[in-house]
Amino acid sequence: MCSTFMGLETSKRGLFTQQAALYTTGHNLSNANTLGYSRQRVNMQATAGFPGTGLHAGTMPGFLGTGVEAGSIQRIRDSFIDQQYRQESNKLGYWESRSQAIAQMEDILTEPSEHGLAQSLTDFWQSLQDLANNPENGGARAVVVQRGMAVADSFNYMHKSLTDIQTNLGTEIDVATVDINSILEQIANLNQQIAEVEPNGYLPNDLYDARDLLLDELSTYIPIEISYEKSGGQALAVAEGAVTVSLKTNGNSVQLVKGTDVQEVSVKLAGANGNPPEPVIGFTIGNEEISVKDMPDVGKLKSLVNSYGYAESDGADVKGLYPEMLDKLNKMASAFANAMNQVHTSGTDINGNKGGNFFDAVGGGEFTAANMAVSEELKKDPNLLAASDGDEAEEGNGKNAKNLGDVLFKPLDDLDKSTIQTYFQGLIGQLGVDGEQANRLQFNTATLLGAVEHRRASVSAVSLDEEMTNMIQFQHAYNASARMITVVDETLDKIINGMGRVGM
C-alpha cells in the first residue's frame, strides 16, 4: 500500500520540474540575441514507479506512477551542422582575405586610368614624337626628360606601394597568429572549467556555447578537426567532455589543444632569402614544423601567406600574389630601361656627342621598378638627349627620338617577345581575372555559409514564439500541479480532522 502523503510528493515533483522548465524558458528568452547561444530544454522523465522491485517490496495491484523529474538541462545543437559551418567558414576566410588583397593591388595598378603607368608611357611616347619633329627645340627636349621622369616615378610608386601592402600583410600574419594562439588558450581554459563541472553530474551548457563560438572563430583562420574526451566521474552520458583541436594538413593532423595542453602556432620565415620582406617557409606548432606545401589552401592564415609570399625552402624561389607581381614589374622596368639605354647610346646629342644612358639604376645593380630613374646628366642638361641617329650633329635629324618612341611597340626578348604595353596589359588583364574569380568564390562561399547558418539557427537559435508557447504550457502544468496539491491537502484534511468524530 502506498503512503497517504504520496500524492503530495508526486505533485511537489511536478511543481519543481515545471518551475525548472519555466526558469530555462526565461534563460532562453534572456539570451535570444546573445551571439553563439544555443537554446536549452529540460529533459523531463518519469520517476520510478511504486512499488519498487525486490523481495521486500510492497505488493499492490498495478504500478503507480510517482511523478516527474528534470533529468538534465541540455542545449539543442547539431554537431553535423557545426562541422559544415566550420568547413564553409574556413573557405570563406580564405577567399575574403584573397579578395581583399587583390582589391588593394587593383587600387595601386589602376588601369585604365588618366594617371597610371599606361598613360605615362603614352605621354612619354607622344613627347618623343614631338621631339622627332623638332629635335632642336629645347622645350621639346625638356618635356621628354620630364615625361621620362614621370614613367620612372610610376614604376617607383607602384613598387613602393605594393611593397608597403606586402609588409602590412606580414604584420597581419603576425596578428592572425596571435589571435589563433589566444583562441587556443581560451579553449584550453574552458576545457578545464568544463572538466571541473561535468564529473558532478551537471551540463555546463553556457561553457559549451562559449567554446563552440571560439571553435567557429578559429575555423576562419585554419582548417581544424575536433574530437571529445569524456570527463569521467558522474558525468552524464550527454556531457561533451574536453575538446581536442587538431590542425588538418595535407599529411597527418597536428594537435593544437588536448585538454588543458596547448601547442603554440608561429610562422617561420626564410633566414636568408634575399631582400626583405622575407617569405614564409613554414609553420611551427610546438616542437613540430610544417612546410608551406603541407598546409591546405583554405583559411585566412594560408590566404595571407599566399598573398604575402612563400617559399618551399630557404633559398627557393619566392611565390605568392605580391612577390610575383613585384617580380613582373621589375622584369618590365628592367627590359624597358635597358632597351631605352641601348637605343639612346646609339644616337647623337645636339652637340654631336654620343648619348649616354637615358635611365640609371639608383644605387647600382640591375634595373628594378624601385631603382629606375632618369640619369642625372639628362635632368641637368636636356641637350644631352640623343635625338639624332648620325655620328655627328645634324640639323633637323630626329630619327633617334623616333627610335626611342618605337621601343614602346617593339617586342622585347626579356618580356617573352611582348611589347612593353602589351606586357603591362597582360598583367592588368590577369589581375582582373584573378580578382573576378576571388570575388565570385567569396560570394559563393558566403552564400553557402549563410545557408548552413540558417539551418543551424533553425535548430539552435531561440524562437520567441516557440518559447512563449512553452512558457504558457509550463505555466499551466505548474498551476495544475499546485491545484493537485490543494486537492490532496483537502483530502488529508478530511482524513485527519473529519474521521473519528462520529457522535460529536
Chain segment 400-455, per-residue pLDDT in tens = 999 999 999 999 999 999 999 999 999 999 999 999 999 999 999 999 999 999 99
State the pairing for strand pair 254-258/359-361. Answer: unpaired
The continuous run of DSSP H or E covering 387 comes out as none
Q: pLDDT value at position 111?
A: 81
Q: Is the pLDDT of residue 492 over 90?
A: no
Which residues are within 8 A (CB) of 291 and not within 5 positions of it... i.e. 6 or more apart?
281, 282, 312, 313
DSSP string for residues in 19-48: HHHHHHHHHHHHTTT-TT---EEEEEEEPP
C-alpha cell at 248: 588538418
Instruction: Tell me how far apart the alpha carbons of residues 284 and 279 are, in angstroms, rounded to a whole number.
Output: 15
Instruction: Tell me how far apart the alpha carbons of residues 465 and 287 are, in angstroms, rounded to a whole number.
Output: 52
Q: Is the pLDDT of residue 503 over 60?
A: no
Q: pLDDT value at position 374?
A: 97
Q: pLDDT value at position 463?
A: 94
Cell numbers 593532423 label which residue? Answer: 253
For residue 380, count other CB atoms closer than 10 A to its CB.
10
Q: Is the pLDDT of residue 390 over 70?
A: yes
C-beta contacts of 205-213 below 8 A and 24+ residues apart: 205/38, 205/40, 205/73, 205/74, 205/75, 206/37, 208/38, 208/75, 208/77, 208/240, 209/36, 209/37, 209/38, 209/75, 210/36, 211/187, 211/243, 212/36, 212/38, 212/77, 212/82, 213/35, 213/36
Which residues are within 8 A (CB) of 321 and not within 5 positions of it... i.e. 6 or more apart?
98, 101, 102, 105, 306, 307, 434
Axis-axis angle for helices 6-30, 464-493 (nearest 10): 160
Q: What is the largest CA-CA distance in the chain?
A: 153
* pLDDT 10s digits, 37-74: 999 999 999 988 777 666 666 666 667 788 899 989 99
Read off the pLDDT band of 272 (50, 70, 90): low
Which residue(s) pair with 266 in the sheet? 284
- In the three-class reduction of DSSP (H, G, I as helix; E, B as strand; rest coil), residue 499 is classed as coil
Q: pLDDT value at position 64?
A: 79
Between 59 and 311, residue with greater pLDDT:
311
The continuous run of DSSP H or E covering 247 comes out as strand 242-247
Q: pLDDT value at position 501?
A: 62
Instruction: Tell me how far apart the alpha carbons of residues 375 and 414 are, in angstroms, rounded to a whole number.
Output: 22
The continuous run of DSSP H or E covering 320 comes out as none
CA angle 391/411/149 to nearest 5° reads 65
Which residue(s) pair with 412 in the sheet? 418
Q: Mean pLDDT over residues 296-317, rounded?
A: 93
CA-derived radius of gyration, the chain: 39
The percent of residues in the chain predicted with pLDDT above 70, rounded, is: 95
| Average pLDDT taken over every residue of the chain | 91
Read off the pLDDT band of 2 (50, 70, 90): low
Q: Mean pLDDT over residues 484-489, rounded?
A: 90
Instruction: Tell me how far apart the alpha carbons of residues 114 and 319 are, in angstroms, rounded to a whole number.
Output: 31
Q: pLDDT value at position 116?
A: 87
Instruction: Tell me how far apart the alpha carbons of residues 459 and 499 are, in angstroms, rounded to a whole number.
Output: 56
* pLDDT 10s digits, 211-241: 999 999 999 999 999 999 999 899 998 999 9
Q: CA of 103: how far to CAs of 90, 229, 308, 471, in Å?
A: 20, 44, 14, 51
Q: pLDDT value at position 62?
A: 63
DSSP string for residues in 413-475: GGGTTB-HHHHHHHHHHHHHHHHHHHHHHHHHHHHHHHHHHHHHHHHHSPPHHHHHHHHHHHH
* pLDDT 10s digits, 128-143: 999 999 998 999 999 9
Between 180 and 58, residue with greater pLDDT:
180
